[in-house]
Chains A and B, each alone.
Chain A
Amino acid sequence: MTIYSQASWTDEDGDRYEPLLSEKASKTVDIEDSPLPDELTRDSLELPAPAEPELARHYTRLSQMNYGVESGPFPLGSCTMKYNPSFTEDIAALPAAAVHPDRPDRTVQGTLGLSYRLQDYLGRIGGMDAVTLQPPAGAAGEFTGIQIAKAYHQHNGDDRSEVVIPDSAHGTNFATAAMAGYDVVELPSGDDGRVDIEALEAAVSQETAALMLTNPNTLGLFERDIERIADIVHDAGGLLYYDGANLNALLGRARPGDMGFDVMHYNVHKTFATPHGGGGPGAGPVGVTEELAPFLPDPHVRQSDGGYEYYSPDHSIGKVHGYYGNWPVLVKAFAYITRLGDAGLADASAKAVLNANYLAERIPYEVPFGPFHHEFVASAGEQDAADVAKGMLDHGVHPPTTKWPEIVDEALMTEPTEGESKRSLDQLAAAFEAVHAEDDGTLASAPRRTAAGRIDQVSAARNPRLSWQSLDSDD
């Protein structure tokens, strides 16, 4: 069994860990003799002023109190925490990649050319006719896709008011539909964890603008009735939206475009290995069928004689990012796809699916639904899934996503990705086993070997202290 102890720096007075920058080196500067008239300036500014060696030590310590993919296994379900190849960072940092977005097309043919190539690659991978790179994350891709669906229906003189979403879907799907002004119709899952065709037929109507679906779904299950599902939605005049969060399950095996989806987002920080950056940035390109291409965001890259140019699609929905999206992230995704090619991408999915199946086989928790692909959802049963997660932290692994999707009791949504070796999966399985064997008393006091002990969520929310300024007035 791996023994783990996360680095932790406790300050000498004992009631905090690494002090805040403001506690280490704060300084106030009065604004005087500025080149502006006094009435246009502030009076003073108080900020930390660490010398560079102190700054370096501060952030190095903070990094040691943080767990990433390179620290150990990170099977956070639905997030595809795969290894992020270093070379992609170097490509994104090339000076030629760092141009200003207002440059004339003619002077940034390299940027447009790479964008065009990535659009093309993503189109092939998803089976889509046209792809925009503009949305800055998966949820932004959903918003783009639903706005496209809306514009398409309105263009046809067809005002629709509802978006249908399975109860097992990610929260962003529901929030996106509401943001776009739609009523959400929640679809109860069938007994097998998949779309219940009868329930779907009952939910879909002339009001249905779109059905949002991920395939495999959040339980890792392939929606085997996908053609039927597509027919039901299309027959009612609705569109089929594909949430690309789970595409890592299917690379080279099936494509959303071939399954009947009209519009999809790709989640490049999942499928295409761009680093998650402690919460972001990601990127959420959107692919569409030919019929929907005129509605894509403005501008879009196309080939022109001998080069590339931006143009505004005829019925464009406008913009979803102030410029061209999260460009450096897109460059990293391009680098990854270019490195792997057809065979490498297919192998990534193969190993991701093998890893999930192997791990599920080895753990003592029941997995109620299958056959699953790149991820599975186990049930913590009598245990509290949140406690299980805290217990696992002490074994040097990151725990699964917990308590979602709700259709599995005390869900442990586990996605090991292709990046884990057999040995590391065995380590993960051992962590599951150890926690499974613990009685609830021990788990409630976990974790013990992490930088901080269990953190009080209730008081954080009851008495919000969201800045060091709010600590001053409180303590």
Chain B
Amino acid sequence: MTSPYAPHTEAETEAMLEAVGVDDIEALFDVPDAVAFDGAFGIPAHGEREARREAARLLGRNDDLTEFLGRGHYAHYVPSVVDDLASRSEFLTSYTQYQPEVAQGFLQALFEYQSMLVELTGLDVANCSMYDEATALGEAATLSQRVRSVSGETILVPDHLRSGKRAVLENYADGPGLTVGSYPMADGQADVDALAELCDDDVAMVYAETPTVRGVIEERLADIGALAEDHDALFCLGSDPVALALLERPADVGADVVVGDAASLGTGTAYGFGLGMFVTREEYLRQVPGRLVGASEDSDGRRAYTLTLQTREQHIRKERATSNICTNQAWVALRAAMHAAWLGPDGLVDLAEDCVTRPRDLAERLDEVVGVQSPVHDGHNFREVVAHTDQPAHAVVEDLAAEGYAVHEIGEHMIQVAATEVTAEAEDGLIGALSEVAK
């Protein structure tokens, strides 16, 4: 079989070989015999229909569960128009805008994305994407080492951090020799008094999240920001664009960097596929990792856009670059911006308010179930709620799966339930199933 995506007819191949002056394409490979390979990978070819069937067959082994899952990866309703517009091949099949004159469209879309994050955070500079929230957090930690006012070498994170996020941070911290330490939580939020005890001048960055991984809105962000500032440390805040539409602006609580996953807008559930937000203050502009789109003028005197401040980046600065990132998540950012614009400020704020009231209401319903007490934490919830189960949580989660529902098991007698508009119609069923299995 030839590649169906190589257009050559046999006659054209012949003509081209003749122009090149060889009889056979194989003559163009300058591979010594000692390392040559015979081409037998043992991978069978498929027609397009058969390849689709094969993928569908494999994926068909996933159980069909209604997911009340969150803890960092969230589902919201994504309007059809996002898929439709983002799938236009001019967007999807283009690449990094090295030639801005033919890439104004994507550049402008990314400029708009950056601007939306600036509005949401109140900070000055957003880059046009990192891989995901965890790698953005890692980049924030390394940024702290390039900021002159910071002398410490410890990164403090909440001890309820998702283990995956912490593991990524540890890898980014390894090169520059940073230590990752944690501060305790109290009732689902940062224990600020304990954090104050831990903060000293060796701290380079304090990281906090709102909502926390348990879906609790952090109420003492300004105090955390002040602690970081007292010790000349950066304050890095983790959040997401839906939460930021409603909650205190990061700029108003002293955040120096905001990271988070913005793929909850525009993409939704995709096995952890994310979009790393990275937003910071103007004073750290030259230390920002990743690509930045800026406005300029073209030869006709019109406003036009281009990648800028590229001397921070690996292709120019090599080992002195602010990061090694090259390919990023631009298309996911395009989708997030489209979704945010589709919602508009009214829709986005409504969505955020729903993320507050829905888990609150659900907590009450969960609490009515025999064998379940909820909420476990007193604060305000965002998208999710933690519940205590009299039965071992493991058994409850297994039994719920048998009924077609997925929730998180987060402790011996604790489950976490995420609820957004996407699962609205399934809430009754979940409560019904839980009533059966939690007794």
Contacts and interface: CB of A to CB of B under 8 A. Distances in A.
Interface string A322-354: 111111110100110111111111111011011
Interface in B234-279: 245-249, 252, 261, 268-274
B104 A66 contact: yes
Interface in A208-227: 221-222, 224, 226-227
A155 interface: no
Contact of B164 (A18, A322, A341): A322
A464 B32 CA distance: 51
Contacts of B42: 124, 342
Nearest to B300: A453
Contact of B321 (A16, A20, A91, A171): A171
Interface in A14-63: 14-18, 20-22, 27-29, 31, 34-36, 39-42, 45-50, 52, 55-56, 58-63
A79 B65 CA distance: 39
Interface residues of B, number: 190
A364 interface: no
A459 interface: yes
Given A15-B301, A279-B96, A399-B99, A339 B4 contact: yes
B393 interface: no
A319 B167 contact: yes
B103 interface: yes
B25 interface: yes
B14 to A, nearest CB: 10
If over half of A's interface residues share one DSSP class (helix, strand or loop), that class is named, otherwise mixed; here it is mixed
B132 A47 contact: no
Interface stretch (A172-180, A231-239, A430-438): A172-180
Contacts of B325: 137, 139-140
Nearest to A331: B55
A76 B326 CA distance: 15
A132 B15 CA distance: 42
Nearest to A146: B175
B124 to A, nearest CB: 8
Interface stretch (A92-100, A196-204, A287-295): A92-100
B375 to A, nearest CB: 15
Contacts of B285: 464
B94 A323 contact: no
B170 A318 contact: yes
17 contacts: A60-B88, A67-B102, A110-B58, A111-B59, A175-B314, A181-B176, A279-B328, A327-B273, A328-B271, A339-B4, A347-B6, A353-B28, A354-B13, A373-B30, A453-B300, A461-B309, A470-B295
Contacts of A346: 39
Interface string B298-328: 1111111110111101111111110111111
A233 B397 CA distance: 51
Contacts of B90: 63-64, 66-68, 70-71
B372 interface: no
Nearest to B380: A36
A102 B346 contact: no
Interface in A175-195: 175-182, 184
A313 interface: no
Nearest first, the 6 closest Cβ-Cβ pairs linking A and B are: A323-B272, A341-B45, A277-B331, A49-B344, A322-B134, A279-B330
Contacts of B176: 181
Interface residues of A, number: 198
Given A35-B357, A322-B165, A63 B36 contact: no
B29 A224 contact: no
A16 B303 contact: yes
A81 B95 CA distance: 8
Contacts of A55: 81, 85, 338, 341-342
Contacts, number: 660
Interface string B82-120: 001111111111111111111111101111101110111
B316 A171 contact: yes
Given A29-B346, A278-B95, A468-B115, A323 B73 contact: yes
B424 interface: no
Contacts of B6: 347-348, 351, 418-419
A69 to B, nearest CB: 4
Interface in B56-82: 56, 58-65, 67, 69, 71-73, 75, 79, 81
B92 A275 contact: yes
Given A67-B90, A421-B8, A460-B306, 20 more contacts: A6-B102, A103-B69, A175-B314, A180-B175, A279-B96, A282-B327, A319-B168, A325-B272, A340-B45, A343-B1, A345-B41, A347-B2, A351-B8, A357-B20, A373-B28, A373-B29, A455-B305, A461-B311, A466-B111, A468-B112
Nearest to A47: B345
B385 to A, nearest CB: 14
Contacts of B133: 322
A460 B43 CA distance: 49
Nearest to B107: A66
A40 B252 CA distance: 11
Nearest to B332: A281
A339 B99 CA distance: 32
Contacts of A140: 131, 135, 325
Contacts of A471: 295, 303
A407 interface: no
A87 B388 CA distance: 45
B371 interface: no
A278 to B, nearest CB: 4
Contacts of A361: 19-21
B360 interface: yes
A186 B308 CA distance: 27
A117 to B, nearest CB: 7
Interface in A461-475: 461, 464-471
A250 B109 CA distance: 36
B55 A143 contact: no
A156 interface: no
Contacts of A181: 174-177
A41 B115 contact: no
Contacts of B19: 358, 361-362
A368 interface: no
A61 B88 CA distance: 11
B172 to A, nearest CB: 8
B165 A47 contact: no
A59 to B, nearest CB: 4
A258 B34 CA distance: 9
